[in-house]
Amino acid sequence: MQGNGVAAVGECMLELSGRQGADWRMGFAGDTFNTLWAIRALLPDDVAADYVTAFGDDPFSRDQIAFFRDHGIGIARSPVIAGARPGLYAITLHGAERSFTYWRADAAARRLADDPVALRASLEGRRLAYFSGITLAILEPKARDKLLDTLRAVRANGTTVAFDPNYRPRLWPSPEAARASIAEAIAVADIALPTFPDEQSLFGDASPGATAERLAKAGVGELVVKDGEAPALVIASGEGTSVPAIKVEAVDTTGAGDSFNGAYLAARLSGDDPVEATRRAHRVAAAVVQVRGALAPFGTLKGAFG
């Protein structure tokens, strides 16, 4: 992989995480941002890491940009839109499992592809560009096309593109619409990082092996099929390897898959082969589920990554 740094595309929201009673903690999170957070923690400081989205001009958006900057994350050419604001979600925990309530219909991130020139400038020349099915789902069809066109163009110029289908039914008008868009995105991806229960729900795959076979036939050369506490299935250079997960007592599973993705991509960027990258990603995911919130401290991520 060559080029200048890493960019992730999507929506970073305001996150409210519940405590006892009426006390809530506000933070910033979102699937592709959580992945970039892990990448930022695990790669050297001189590797650029930028989050590509659209921001409002409200105080929360300004705080979000400042939070990124304080943790070594830039915003590239992401637009700031007058009168817009970020989306919001709240996490409710039931044991270690979580449920989410969202307020995001008018979020600024839905306009991240309004300026195709700025979007191209944000992604051009990167070592890696990362996006997800949620990135696709928040965009209107024309904006989705602009994003995929941009990814095709930068990929043709040498950027490696990684994609997590991350299917969330409530964000799509129908399963058919989700299947069509995700299939288009898979065709743009060099690396795919699907989660088996999502793929089973959307495509009817009978097993992680069936998911891997379908994606390989679609042209993805490198993929890791995640499956919670079950082993991950790694496919690279036509070979398949099962890599066991690490079982721990989970406190909060929020962001575990996103952190796995970030650790995997950071390991690959650092020169690890896909199987070793998956082992390191499992270690990071196991550490993340033992802390509360979507963003584990950088020290926690680094310690698990090794």
Hey, which residues does 192 pair with through a beta bridge? 163, 223
Q: pTM for the complete prediction? A: 0.95
Active-site residues, by number, are 258
17/108 Cα distance (integer angstroms):
21
Residue boundaries of the structural domains of the chain: 6-305
* Six token digits for residue 228: 């919670």
- pLDDT tens, per residue, the chain with 306 residues: 446 899 999 999 998 876 656 778 899 999 999 999 999 999 999 999 999 999 999 999 999 999 999 999 999 999 999 999 999 988 877 765 667 888 998 999 999 999 999 999 999 999 999 999 999 999 999 999 999 999 999 999 999 999 999 999 999 999 999 999 999 999 999 999 999 999 999 999 999 999 999 999 999 999 999 999 999 999 999 899 999 999 999 888 888 999 999 999 999 999 999 999 999 999 999 999 999 878 999 999 999 999
Element (H, E) at 42: helix 31-42
Q: What are phi and psi of 88, to 5 degrees?
A: -140, 140
**7 Cβ neighbours under 8 A, 6+ residues apart:** 49, 50, 51, 52, 76, 122, 123, 126, 128, 129, 130
24-29 and 49-52 beta bridge pairing: unpaired
CATH of 6-305, one of 3.40.50.300, 3.40.1190.20, 3.30.470.10, 3.40.50.620: 3.40.1190.20
